[in-house]
Structure 1
Amino acid sequence: MKLRKIIGKKLKAIRLGSEMTIQDLASRSGVSSNMISRVERGLTIPSVEILMKLARVFEKSIDYFVEEVKTTHEVVFTSSGQRDTTIYENNSNMLTESFTSGLRDPQFTSFYCTIPKGGKSGDDNMYHPGDELIFLLEGCLQVTIIDDLYVLNPGDSLSFKSHLPHQWKNIGPAEARVIWTLSPFTVI
């Protein structure tokens, strides 16, 4: 099943299960009702920032919306190349492989990310509850937090409170490979 259909189906199911209208969800998440409708109908894939805003309303991680997991487990082992993958078709075309897919109620979300040359989080800052850890394996990633600029090279890491406005961009000559870990999301 295509990612946009998975996200749309899960968003509509959890919204209806919570007895919320699209307008209710729009008001609680800060995402426009038009965008929510388009996502639910499988017409678009939301940006990571929008997905985080929607996930926060339901106290879920973004994994909940992007994974097509039939069962969950207390222990999950996945071989290289066998992880659930997602391609975000926004400004970054970032490919992620989830380390936590299938884990029952994880308290964090962790991904192996491949960001193409020039890929970026978007033109607007992101911010969300929790903590974030970026560990750069290959390439060169520029991260801006508020007005501070950080350039990560292989082996560098950056941890920060995710409520601080931030954005990132691959400024290297090739793909960047990153391990990205996010703490749980809570309702503000």
Structure 2
Amino acid sequence: MERKIGKRIRNYREKQELSIRDLSGRTGLKEEFLTAVEENENYPSLGPLLKIARALGVRLGTFLDDQVSRDPLIVRLDERDQEMTMHAGGTAGFKYHSLGRGKTDRHMEPFFIEVLPETRDDTTLSSHEGEEFILVQSGRVAVIYGKEESVLEAGDSVYYNSVVPHNVRCVGDEKAEIYAVLYFPE
């Protein structure tokens, strides 16, 4: 899936006759970073991916969708596949499983996410338009929201405006599993 996302970004950029430099100007992201994304050397977190989607005039799900929309969309546990891995501090830190893939007219991005222990020390903050809701299924996660940090355990949830700088990371040596729903206004 990750290779497909980089290829899709390049295809949308080229269809609009934009250079990497043009896309960099629209997103505020470095040209080297964008080149690495397109060539699958580096996979962005959701913040930069959202900036790329907005700069290209598409919704985030455009990079994730492989099929025509279904209603209602049912995702069975045994059919759920890992779609992408996002990196924290240069190592794999998050494994994303889209729960909305196949519903092309969606306005939310629901995910089951494995938050790996490699994210423990990453306190890099991101911000973007929209809202996020997270429910911890297992393990422990730390959520930095602005200058405030909270530790959530299984059954705990958090709902926040994504424009405020934030970070989600694993606490401890065991991976955490979360359900997250992200909303990005049009």
Please give the range of the TM-score, normalised by the shorter of the 2 chains.
0.7 to 0.9
Residue 88 of structure 1 aligns to a residue whose secondary structure is: strand
Between stretches 162-171 and 85-94, larger displacement belongs to 85-94
Residue 93 of structure 1 aligns to a residue whose secondary structure is: strand
Partner of 1:164: 164
- d(CA) in 2 for partners of 1:185 and 1:56? 10
> TM-score normalized by structure 2?
0.87
Partner of 2:117: 117
Residue segments in structure 1 that go unaligned for 5+ positions in a row: none
CA contact (8 A) 2:43 2:85 kept: yes
- Percent identical across equivalent pairs? 23
CA RMSD, Structure 1 to Structure 2 (Å): 2.1
One-letter amino acid of the structure 1 residue matched with residue 145 of structure 2: I
* Count of residues in correspondence between the two structures: 183
Return the match for 2:77 from 77, 80, 84. 80
One-letter amino acid of the structure 2 residue matched with residue 13 of structure 1: N
- d(CA) in 2 for partners of 1:53 and 1:95? 20
CA contact (8 A) 1:29 1:53 kept: yes
CA contact (8 A) 1:121 1:167 kept: no
**Structure 1 runs of 4+ off > 4 angstroms?**
none
**Pairing 1:1-188 to 2, within 5 Å after superposition:** 3=2, 5-65=3-63, 67=64, 69-91=66-88, 92-120=92-120, 122-186=122-186
Between stretches 69-78 and 117-126, larger displacement belongs to 117-126
- d(CA) in 1 for partners of 2:27 and 2:120? 23
Deviation string 1:97-128 (CA, Å, 9 cap, x unpaired) is 11100102211001011112242594421100
CA contact (8 A) 1:120 1:168 kept: no
Cα 1:89–1:128 change in 2 (3 A) is closer
